[in-house]
Amino acid sequence: MLSDFNKELIQIINKSPVVVFLWKNSKGWPVEFVSENIKVYGYEPNEFLSRKILYADLIHPDDRTRIENEVETYADSDISEFTQEYRILTKNKKICWVDDRTFIRRDEKGRVTHYQGIILDITKRKELEQRISESEYLFRKILENTFIGFAIHQENSIVYVNKALSMIVGYPPEELLRWDYSEFIEKVHPDYRETVINRLQIHLKGDENVYTFTEFPIYTKTGELKWVYTNEKSIRYHDKPAIITALVDITEMKRIEKKFFESQQNYRKAYERENFYKDLFTHDMRNILHGILNILEIYHLKEGTKGENESLKDIVNKMKIQISRGTTLIKNVRKISEVEGAGKNLTRINLFCKIKDVCRDIKGIINNKDVDISLNSFNEEIYILADDLIDFIINNILMNSIIHNHNTLVEINIQISQYQDNSKDYIKIEFIDNGEGIPDYKKKLIFNREFSKEKSTIGMGLGLSLVKKVLESYKAEIAVEDKIPSDYSQGSKFIITFPQVDLNYENFYSGR
């Protein structure tokens, strides 16, 4: 007879969601006790107690063999309890999932006599797990078949990556899954690391309503620099806070964007150049024509005046100089198209011989001034990389020194020397004259006249702006100083530096 306590305990069990069984360790597990609440599955307790139904009959056929094998394994071991999850069939053949907590009863010799079990309906939990599993499978299926890279960061580690992300960064998935937070940051370009860290810190707070978007370059496994666009969001992954990152390779887009921007810039520069050269040509040619008209007016005033033959010769010479200036201007304008293509095909040129040849030609055409050009060099075998425009450069600097010199004797001293900088050899040419000199404020303007509103810059500024452009294509530099430091009126010193080329150097194409 049951005690009051046991009766009360059975009442509690019958009102609970768990069903209690006592099975005999025999084939099919005949039931010796079952709680009244077995009725929730459509069965009456007496159907089991009369052995009309064995407990094994309750288990879904597809799970029965597994459960029997597991029970046999547990029984052969020294454990006293175990847990199983499996499906059972209700009286109307509905499938339910149960959690079975079983305790093993043994006799004094250790042989199993009975199994005491408590089963709990976990059907809803299993259905939820199934939906989550299906959803995760679909989620992974989508992620594994897209060009967008995806990664999930959780607890300072990368816990998921798809194939697309692996292909973008060049690391296999198994290697990426061993990374921690700091290893990912190391692959971001140093200039953008702080931005990326700040974005991730926002999501570490766990606000799932916040999205962040970032563009930055990263280093792949091969060291290649790629631009990526990322979108980050806080999520819960396996019921823990996490950050999911979607990543797209935008390297090609950045390349096209840069090319488009450069194209726009080149178009804008070409437009500005055209207006600049038009204005400059008009301005300088107007000055030249104005000078010629003034000379002609003086000529007419002197015409018929006796004893002025020598003065008339001076007038003619001045007119020749103005016409020469006009010719030079036209030549410079024609040089513009050549300068635009400068530096595309450079060859080894003997600089000493070039300067010597240009000096000879200039002396041959200057007959209205006494010009003394001296050339001193540490060596006559000096080679640089240049093209045909090197003649234009030397000629322009020498002619400027002659035209803007009002001394009776024009003196130009050309010094060629060699020096080293960071273990590289350079050639330095100094054009030193005794002309009127260049004030400091004009020194900053003469090479940068392009696109300038300034029309009064010294001399034929168009020529010197072209000289600078050509020299830049040679990877050479030009500067101007006072012949006597701090006294510009004593003359100027134009300095050009070229990278020196080895004697055995045959040919060079920029861009190789």
- Per-residue pLDDT tens over the stretch 272-296: 666 666 655 655 665 566 566 666 6
**pLDDT at residue 174, as a whole number:** 92
Residue in this structure with the two tokens 């036209």, named with its chain if needed: 330
Assess contact for 20 and 34: CB atoms under 8 A. yes
pTM, to two decimals? 0.41
d(CA 159, CA 178): 8
d(CA 502, CA 135): 69
d(CA 6, CA 213): 65
d(CA 209, CA 183): 27
User: What b-and-e string marks burial along 251-270, b requiring 16 or more CB atoms within 10 Å of the CB?
Assistant: beebeeeeeeeeeeeeeeee
**Structural domains present in the chain:** 4-121 (3.30.450.20), 129-249 (3.30.450.20), 341-512 (3.30.565.10)
DSSP bridge pairs for 24 = 114
**pLDDT at residue 290, as a whole number:** 57
**pLDDT at residue 302, as a whole number:** 58
Identity (one letter) of the amino acid at 92? N
**pLDDT at residue 98, as a whole number:** 95
Assess contact for 82 and 100: CB atoms under 8 A. no
Assess contact for 227 and 189: CB atoms under 8 A. no
**pLDDT at residue 50, as a whole number:** 94
**pLDDT at residue 462, as a whole number:** 56
d(CA 502, CA 117): 94
**pLDDT at residue 320, as a whole number:** 61
Backbone φ and ψ of 143, nearest 5°: -65, -30
H-run or E-run covering 145: none
d(CA 389, CA 463): 12
Instruction: Give, as one character, the DSSP assignment of residue 367.
Output: -
Structure tokens at 175: 């290697």
The residues, any chain, with a CB within 8 Å of residue 256's CB and separated by 6 or more, are none
**pLDDT at residue 451, as a whole number:** 40
**pLDDT at residue 101, as a whole number:** 94
Backbone φ and ψ of 491, nearest 5°: 130, 170
d(CA 398, CA 394): 6
**pLDDT at residue 227, as a whole number:** 92
> What are the residue ranges in the chain where pLDDT is below 50?
1, 310, 450-461, 507-512
Assess contact for 449 and 461: CB atoms under 8 A. yes
The residues, any chain, with a CB within 8 Å of residue 119's CB and separated by 6 or more, are 18, 19, 21, 88, 98, 99, 100, 101
**pLDDT at residue 314, as a whole number:** 64
Structure tokens at 442: 């004009």
Look at strands 507-508 and 31-34 and give their pairing. unpaired
Alpha-carbon distance values, 290 to 83, 104, 312, 462, 507 (Å): 110, 121, 19, 19, 47
The Cβ-side half-sphere exposure at 457, using a 13 Å CA radius, reads 23
Edge-to-edge strands, sheet with 95-106: 31-34, 18-24, 112-121, 95-106, 81-89
**pLDDT at residue 155, as a whole number:** 85
Assess contact for 185 and 193: CB atoms under 8 A. yes
The Cβ-side half-sphere exposure at 288, using a 13 Å CA radius, reads 19
d(CA 77, CA 314): 127
